[in-house]
Structure 1
């Protein structure tokens, strides 16, 4: 099977697997009406992060097992795990069983790191960074489309909890699509030779610890304002929920159009300075959002933030690609996915605390400061230590 067909199949299946986790959480309040009518907003908030917390715990273990047992079996496992968790959630007759289902979603899922690990084995190193950009794109596309699709199903008078049963079909379809893929598409000799290809002249490799620090700071800057953006923009500019939803989605739409051209542009360039630039752009645009009273300026800042987000993620994927070894790719992607999920939890909880005590303005500024500090740390680590590829893998 050709690498292009393998990549297209894995990306389509990743989109199918991401659809439920991206589309269902915004409707937790409606889903809980039938299970726990007296559920408080704080309970809904905690349930929102339960799958993420469980995924942060399980991702490194599944990654290690993927290196030992094979990437394709663990990719199939992730899709089957999602299907099982959605079925349990859709059939749950009590709140405790529904919470168990959310835990299973995190513990048995993990399609993002599993897809990336399989692609690292199936594709040449020169194509891996762009493939990682595309898995991010499939997640962004699910983030845009899935809530609208779930809302449409609910508007068709489907009981909100039963939507889980409908969405469970998607990972089942993904399993059927993944079955024909080769278990191993390249020999160990080919993979070793690919890993030994030298990097372009002047390109430095950051250690995994340094990359994890950059990823954490970037995630904190990006995610902390997510839960509050729609209600804030509705109140600040007097717009409806639909318009506010488009404002929320603008950066992700920019990513969909810009990730591939930017990936090609950075192919032979040192990604660390570009990652720092992305962090600075994100930080600057968050600060603009904090102070503007113009809807047009706010929308333009969201578009520019999308450019910074795209630059940050594309450069981050290039940094990660430089440290990948074929034998430990599953473990590496598992740890990076776990780190991203932990940072997402910290961003959500910390952002809520800042917003509750000081409002959305201080939250925007805190996120902007986080972006600037992350850029400074990455450039400091890059300038103080010249890593070789072998050093970065330790």
Structure 2
């Protein structure tokens, strides 16, 4: 049953992630279907609106999941995403479309909900591997979603894309519905007491590593195309391949890397920092392929190590609250990284985000070492 349960949760997560990650790239074209002039600045605001709403809502959903069950929260996440996409697909104007994005972000959040539910069914190394696989499904959706949705857009579909894609999280809902419910976690502290909302210092440190690591990854995303062009690359397909290489490393190498022992998290952060530093130095374009592979290996090692730390600390608190805060820290990092990347490129050029990513990875490395004293990574 655990293997079938994990497969159902992961497939459901992929369907919802495909839905959420496939459309944003085509947002400018979709907004044109609303029939009114859309300010250029609003495209960026609408792009991050669901992420912001997820960051704000995830801790609340986590507490409710511990109180009422993580499976129920996972069903809510899939249904919330479907509702947001249906509303977007039938939006008559920009205001309703923005409301639909708020619904999508506020009531979605399949990553945190999937991880929390898996944490109620699995333990130790089994949970760590499952967390690696939810990231695997997210990376797979990040690569396949824009390509397949792009084919639909090329066929002439605009805002109605949202109506068709809404069926995918509904299918994910159907996959999760027959799975066993988890027992709600009893509250240890009365509402209003300090212990009801405080997180242990050890978990706060873990959230700080997650924030810095996520920031280091995302800050280089928005302006990678002009960075490649500045190196003399004029082939959009080649730039797209180089952009995707770190995610391809995760997809191809995860089965082997997760079998490794040792301190993977600090090793990954060191490689990520080195890869970004070398990209900041604008080495010849012929070396960019190797540098992207290096950064991808660092990302993979850091993810696997971080998930081991997270699985170990699952026993320190309710799964819903833990994964709610963990997901929220990543979403806040992504939002901040997008803003910082824009400001840095405007003032210092398109290579500056790579130096910022290097510094963020080194900061995460500095925060990491106390986490390893109780981590399975340090076990012989």
Normalised by the length of structure 1, the TM-score is 0.87
Q: 1:180 aligns with which of 174, 178, 189?
A: 178
Counterparts of residues 286-301 of structure 1 (less than 5 Å): 286-301=276-291
Residue 259 of structure 1 and its aligned partner are, at CA, apart by: 2.2
C-alpha separation between the residues in 1 aligned to 2:323 and 2:223? 29
Three-state SS of the structure 1 residue aligned to 2:318 is helix
Moved over 4 A (4+): 386-389
Residue 36 of structure 1 and its aligned partner are, at CA, apart by: 5.8
Structure 2 counterpart of 1:355: 345
Which residues of structure 1 form unaligned runs of 5+? 189-204, 390-394
Residue 284 of structure 1 and its aligned partner are, at CA, apart by: 1.1
Q: 2:299 aligns with which of 297, 309, 313?
A: 309
Structure 2 counterpart of 1:77: 76
Instruction: Work out whether residues 79 and 111 of structure 1, in 8 Å CA contact, stay in contact via their aligned partners in 2.
Output: yes
Instruction: Work out whether residues 233 and 285 of structure 2, in 8 Å CA contact, stay in contact via their aligned partners in 1.
Output: no
Counterparts of residues 6-45 of structure 1 (less than 5 Å): 6-35=5-34, 37-45=36-44
C-alpha separation between the residues in 2 aligned to 1:109 and 1:187? 20
Deviations 1:315-339 (A, max 9, x none): 1111111111386111100011011
Residue 242 of structure 1 and its aligned partner are, at CA, apart by: 1.9
> What value does the CA root-mean-square deviation take over the aligned residues?
2.1
C-alpha separation between the residues in 2 aligned to 1:165 and 1:171? 11
Instruction: Work out whether residues 133 and 260 of structure 1, in 8 Å CA contact, stay in contact via their aligned partners in 2.
Output: no
Instruction: Work out whether residues 288 and 298 of structure 1, in 8 Å CA contact, stay in contact via their aligned partners in 2.
Output: no
C-alpha separation between the residues in 1 aligned to 2:351 and 2:317? 46
Instruction: Work out whether residues 226 and 350 of structure 2, in 8 Å CA contact, stay in contact via their aligned partners in 1.
Output: no
1:244 aligns with 2:239: yes
Residue 177 of structure 1 and its aligned partner are, at CA, apart by: 1.4
Counterparts of residues 257-276 of structure 1 (less than 5 Å): 257-266=252-261, 269=262, 273-276=263-266
Deviations 1:337-372 (A, max 9, x none): 011101111111111111111111222112212212
Q: 2:169 aligns with which of 139, 161, 171?
A: 171
1:123 aligns with 2:113: no
1:208 aligns with 2:187: no
Larger displacement relative to structure 2 (2-11 or 364-373): 364-373
Three-state SS of the structure 2 residue aligned to 1:239 is coil
1:111 aligns with 2:106: no
Larger displacement relative to structure 2 (206-215 or 63-72): 206-215
Residue 257 of structure 1 and its aligned partner are, at CA, apart by: 1.8
Residue 373 of structure 1 and its aligned partner are, at CA, apart by: 2.4
1:97 aligns with 2:87: no
Structure 2 counterpart of 1:67: 66
Residue 157 of structure 1 and its aligned partner are, at CA, apart by: 1.5
Which residues of structure 2 form unaligned runs of 5+? 186-199
Q: 1:219 to 1:149 in 2, by over 3 A?
A: same
Residue 388 of structure 1 and its aligned partner are, at CA, apart by: 9.3
Larger displacement relative to structure 2 (78-87 or 257-266): 257-266
Three-state SS of the structure 2 residue aligned to 1:226 is coil
Instruction: Work out whether residues 269 and 364 of structure 2, in 8 Å CA contact, stay in contact via their aligned partners in 1.
Output: yes
Q: 1:107 to 1:39 in 2, by over 3 A?
A: same
Three-state SS of the structure 2 residue aligned to 1:324 is helix
Q: 1:288 to 1:220 in 2, by over 3 A?
A: same
Q: 1:247 to 1:36 in 2, by over 3 A?
A: farther
Structure 1 counterpart of 2:367: 377
C-alpha separation between the residues in 2 aligned to 1:382 and 1:137? 24
What is the total number of aligned residue pairs between the two structures? 362
Larger displacement relative to structure 2 (100-109 or 353-362): 353-362
Structure 2 counterpart of 1:253: 248
Residue 377 of structure 1 and its aligned partner are, at CA, apart by: 2.9
C-alpha separation between the residues in 2 aligned to 1:365 and 1:104? 35
Residue 387 of structure 1 and its aligned partner are, at CA, apart by: 5.8
C-alpha separation between the residues in 1 aligned to 2:42 and 2:73? 32
C-alpha separation between the residues in 2 aligned to 1:129 and 1:388? 12
C-alpha separation between the residues in 2 aligned to 1:248 and 1:238? 12
